[in-house]
Amino acid sequence: MGHVLILGATSDMAQALAYRYAQEGYQVTLAARQIEPLTALVSDLQIRYQAKVAALAFEATDYASHATFYANLATPPNVVICVFGYLGEQAKAQEDFAESEKIIATNYVGAVSILNIVANDFESRQSGCIIGISSVAGDRGRQSNYIYGSAKAGFTAYLSGLRNRLAKSQVQVLTVKPGFVRTRMTEKLKLPPFITATPTQVANQIYRAHQAKRDVLYTLWMWQFIMLIIRHIPEFIFKRLSL
């Protein structure tokens, strides 16, 4: 059976993915900065689905540790989902480069660092699936979160290139671009209900896209059209909008 490695396992979306894959009979390895908060999730997955589950410490921005982390996995995964990310604060990032750097380091550099290693392994094994959680924010830079958006844009381009490289090695690369998702991170925001997904919806869509060997996935589907419109607004109008 399959073995899925979830990087950044404390988020609501990562948890929903863990449930879905465990339910499908996958072995699940959860990786997060701290493993103590994952204890209950591990026991829950084991008891509900009799799944084989482990939690490991992983720091996205400690690039030097990534090779050892991956080499030390007890069994090699055949699905790797890169969920970790850092939204940050746009206003703060404009004033304080440390915040900008943290956003770029987590969302882009950290992801490149670990996925390079995974990609080489999958390429040599001629199989596997890499799923990267990017964002619709990477489709066009907007004043309200362009530092985060640009890091995600970089990540989207990275995944696209990776897919191109690994296509001949039978390795699937799936770029996921979630729109609004109702999570603890966005609990206080008032999000429009029709275009806001629950983490479970996102996880189910990702699982199906994985099985269908798709390349790019917007969650929910309306976002594909919303972003189509946003991408096609002429720049001389777009620059005047307060988005």
Partner 1 sequence: MRNFGKYVLSAVTGGVIGAAATWLWSNRPGTARLMGSWGNYPKVAAQLHTFQTIAELRQILKNVHSAIPRGNGRSYGDSALAPHMISSLNYNKFLSFDTQAGIIHCQAGVLLSEILEVTVAKGWFLPVTPGTKLITVGGAIASDVHGKSQHKAGNFSDHLVSMELMLADGSIVTCSPEQNNELFWTTCGGMGLTGVILSATMHLIPIETAYIRQESLRADNLDHLMDLFEESESWMYSVAWIDCLTKGNGMGRGYIMRGEHATLTDLAGDSRRKYPLEPRWKPKLIVPFDFPEFFLNSFIIKAFNFVLYHKNPKKVVKSVIDYDEFFYPLDVIYQWNRIYGPRGFTQYQFILPTENSRAGMKAIMQKITDSNMGSFLAVLKLYGPQRGYLPFAMAGYSLALDFPIRDGLFDFLDELDKLVLSYGGRLYLTKDARMSAAMFKETYPQLETFLQNLQQINPNDKFRSRQSDRVGLTK
Name the active-site residue from 19, 148, 158, 207.
Answer: 148
C-alpha distances in Å from residue 2, one per residue of 35, 69, 76, 129, 204: 22, 20, 10, 11, 17
In b/e form, how buried is each residue of 144-158, taking b as 16+ CB within 10 angstroms?
A: ebbbbbbbbbbbbeb
Active site residue 70: no
Q: Minimum CB separation from partner 1 for residue 9, in Å?
A: 13
Residue (119 or 220) nearer to partner 1, CB? 220
Under rule CB under 8 A, residue 234 binds partner 1:
no
DSSP 8-state assignment for residue 174: E
Under rule CB under 8 A, residue 37 binds partner 1:
yes
Span 81-110, contacts to partner 1 by CB under 8 A? none
- Strands 180-181 and 79-82, bridge-based pairing: unpaired
DSSP 8-state assignment for residue 118: H
List the one residue out of 218, 139, 116, 224 whose CA is nearest residue 177. 218
Under rule CB under 8 A, residue 195 binds partner 1:
yes
Under rule CB under 8 A, residue 48 binds partner 1:
yes
Under rule CB under 8 A, residue 43 binds partner 1:
yes
Under rule CB under 8 A, residue 212 binds partner 1:
no
Which residues sit at the interface with partner 1, rule CB under 8 A?
37, 40-41, 43-44, 47-48, 184, 187, 190, 192-195, 222, 225-226, 228-229
Give the active site residues.
Answer: 148
